[in-house]
């Protein structure tokens, strides 16, 4: 392992003369804007090349050598309540509503005696919901879905259909949470029915039913958005370890309930009887879906580059396709953290993750760089993986969001990269700079250094100009919560299709 720490903090340029010769087009990290120049933008029908608007407005022509004073913040533009509602009630919540509503209708019919089958097999209804919930979070299943959609629907269907495919794939978590919540409701009905007939049930079955309910409830509680987003380690530990405890208790409760014969008041230990029960096979499926991703877990050697105290660039062996995210940890089973994967393609020798210092885990990568990390070799697909569905698109990101965005623009000449960050060359170092310079042409690249330019740009003005000049069909956004919300609202108002960051892993 090599730990690269000796990068001069004020070095400019970041490459030696010999290294510069390896670049396709040597140029600084910042995009130069000719004085008072404004170009009309038209794509070349034969070559496919596009001349990009220079955005020659007064804000963009400032001399990079001088530190301009930071302009006063502009008042936030009010967005219509209809747009706010559309963004809030997204596909995630729609899928949750559909899933949960259908289950509650079924549960109501079962509890009222109008659906005898569901009342008789309420345990199977509970674990069937848990099966779907876990399946929606299974990396292998997700990759298969993305592969099918990207293979069958790339570019040719109507735009509205492709947008729908991306939206559903990005928001599969709505089915996950809808089925999980519904499964808890069905499990409560199951335990209520068992306790209602407690005179005929074995005490151990009663106890296991109650413990299973408690464990499943706390597993779900730890995944609430507030817990997940503000106390990630609490979410990781409880959702995983209490969840595994709930799985073991579900096995015990299911087997105990299936083999206890209420009529003879004895245990039916006939294996054939057990394997004929529906809930037994549902729990078996649930267990398989949980175990499968973990068989891909490996401890791998890594190289850590530390271009600045704010960022660790983690390098892994082998190349990857674009639009993937990976989970890494110092431990085999604890505290996995997701980061975007940067790679030049499946043929590449390496892939990278940009880990910005935000919490204990990422800070430890800088303060105590490890020689190895645990990771799942099979990465999970992010929304950018559907970029192949679109003819042209824009990938806009801020700060460490470049980690999730860069691969798409490296591996496809039809995607335009906009990266807004502070002191990008110094903060992120020569590896990221080199990947950008070698693979992304100047005509599809806009880098904005907010430190040099005295603040952030008018992102919506830039997005609108690039969207129309580039003939884009789609905008993918990776930013912090505030930046993501503002850009999503602006794009929605301007009628530009977009998908933003999700805080739901």
> Are residues 261 and 399 both part of a single domain?
no
Distance CA 442, CA 148 (A): 33
Per-residue confidence (pLDDT) for residue 248, from 0 to 100: 96
Residue 149 lies in a domain: no
- Are residues 371 and 224 located together in one domain of the fold? no
- If asked whether residues 245 and 337 sit together in one domain, one would say no
Tell me the two tokens of residue 480.
């912090």
Per-residue pLDDT, averaged over 333-338, amounts to: 86
Query: Model confidence at 225, in pLDDT bands (50, 70, 90)?
Result: confident
| Averaged pLDDT, 260-282 | 89
With bands split at pLDDT 50, 70 and 90, how would you rate the model's confidence at 35? Answer: very low
Give the distance between the most distant pair of CA atoms in the chain: 92
> What b-and-e string marks burial along 248-280, b requiring 16 or more CB atoms within 10 Å of the CB?
ebbbbbbbbbbbbeeeeeeeeeeeeeeeebebb
3-state secondary structure of 238: helix
pLDDT at 58: 34
pLDDT per position as a tens digit, 458-474: 999 999 999 999 999 99
Encode pLDDT of 405-458 as tens digits.
Answer: 999 999 999 999 999 999 898 999 999 999 999 999 999 999 999 888 888 899
Whether residues 214 and 332 share a domain: the answer is: no
**3-state secondary structure labels for all residues of 161-187:** HHHHHHHHHHCCHHHHHHHHHHHHHHH
Q: What is the pLDDT of residues 273-283, one digit of tens each?
A: 899 999 999 99
Residue 232 has pLDDT above 90, yes or no: no
Please give the pLDDT value at position 79.
Answer: 85
| pLDDT reported for residue 493 | 94
Is 74 inside a domain boundary? Answer: no
Q: Is 217 within the bounds of a domain?
A: yes
Q: Within this chain, do residues 325 and 371 fall inside the same structural domain, yes or no?
A: yes
Residue 53 within a domain: yes
**Do residues 357 and 211 both lie within one domain?**
no
Q: Based on the domain organization, do 499 and 400 belong to the same domain?
A: yes
Number of structural domains, the chain?
Answer: 2
How many Cβ atoms sit within 10 Å of the Cβ of residue 415? 25
| 352 shares its domain with 251 | no
**Residue 33 lies inside a defined structural domain of this protein:** yes
List, for residues 48-88, the tens digit of each pLDDT value: 434 343 333 333 333 333 334 444 445 466 889 999 999 99
End residue of a domain, out of 294, 327, 345: 294
Where a domain ends, among 267, 294, 321? 294
417/438 same-domain check: yes
Domain end position, chosen among 249, 274, 294: 294
CA distance 427 to 356: 10
For residues 382 and 267, membership in a common domain is answered with no
Residues 49 and 176 in one domain: no
Range of the domain at 280: 88-136+172-294
The whole model's pTM is what? 0.82
Q: Do 286 and 320 have their domain in common?
A: no
């Amino acid at each position: 392992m090599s730990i690269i720490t000796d990068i001069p903090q004020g070095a400019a340029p970041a490459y030696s003369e010999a290294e510069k010769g390896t670049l396709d087009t040597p140029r600084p990290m910042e995009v130069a804007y000719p004085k008072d120049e404004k170009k009309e933008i038209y794509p070349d029908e034969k070559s496919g090349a596009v001349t990009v608007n220079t955005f020659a407005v007064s804000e963009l022509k400032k001399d990079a050598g001088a530190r301009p004073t930071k302009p006063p913040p502009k008042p936030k533009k009010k967005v219509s309540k209809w747009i706010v509602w559309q963004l809030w009630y997204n596909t995630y919540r729609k899928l949750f509503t559909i899933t949960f509503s259908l289950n509650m209708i079924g549960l109501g019919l079962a509890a009222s005696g109008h659906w005898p089958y569901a009342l008789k097999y309420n345990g199977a209804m509970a674990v069937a919901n848990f099966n779907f919930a876990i399946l929606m979070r299974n990396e292998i299943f997700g990759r298969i879905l993305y592969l099918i959609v990207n293979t069958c629907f790339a570019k040719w269907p109507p735009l509205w259909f492709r947008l729908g495919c991306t939206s559903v794939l990005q928001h599969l978590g709505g089915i996950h949470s809808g089925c999980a919540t519904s499964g808890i409701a069905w499990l409560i009905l199951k335990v209520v029915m068992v306790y209602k007939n407690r005179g005929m049930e074995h005490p151990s079955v009663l106890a296991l039913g109650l413990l299973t309910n408690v464990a499943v409830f706390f597993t779900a509680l730890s995944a609430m958005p507030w817990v997940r987003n503000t106390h990630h380690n609490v979410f990781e530990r409880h959702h995983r370890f209490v969840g595994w405890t709930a799985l073991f208790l579900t096995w015990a409760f299911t087997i105990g309930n299936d083999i206890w014969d209420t009529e003879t008041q004895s245990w039916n230990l006939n294996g054939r009887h057990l394997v004929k029960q529906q809930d037994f096979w549902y729990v078996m499926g649930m267990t398989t879906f949980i175990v499968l991703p973990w068989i891909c877990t490996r401890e791998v050697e890594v190289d850590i580059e530390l271009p600045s105290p704010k960022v660790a660039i983690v390098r892994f062996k082998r190349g990857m396709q674009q639009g993937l995210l990976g989970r890494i940890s110092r431990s085999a089973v604890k505290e996995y953290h997701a980061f975007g994967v940067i790679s030049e393609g499946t043929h590449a020798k390496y892939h990278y993750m940009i880990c910005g210092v935000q919490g204990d885990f990422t800070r430890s990568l800088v303060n105590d760089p490890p020689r190895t990390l645990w990771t799942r070799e099979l990465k999970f697909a992010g929304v950018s993986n559907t970029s192949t569905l679109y003819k042209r698109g824009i990938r806009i990101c801020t700060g460490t969001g470049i980690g999730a965005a860069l691969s798409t623009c490296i591996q496809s000449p039809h995607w335009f990269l906009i990266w807004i960050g502070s002191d990008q060359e110094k903060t992120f170092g020569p590896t990221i700079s080199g990947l950008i310079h070698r693979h992304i042409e100047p005509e599809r690249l806009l880098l904005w250094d907010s430190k040099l330019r005295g603040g952030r740009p008018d992102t919506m003005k830039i997005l609108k100009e690039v969207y129309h000049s580039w003939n884009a069909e789609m905008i993918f956004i990776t930013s912090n919560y505030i930046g993501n919300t503002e850009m999503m609202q602006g794009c929605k108002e301007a009628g530009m299709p977009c998908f933003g960051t999700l805080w739901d892993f």
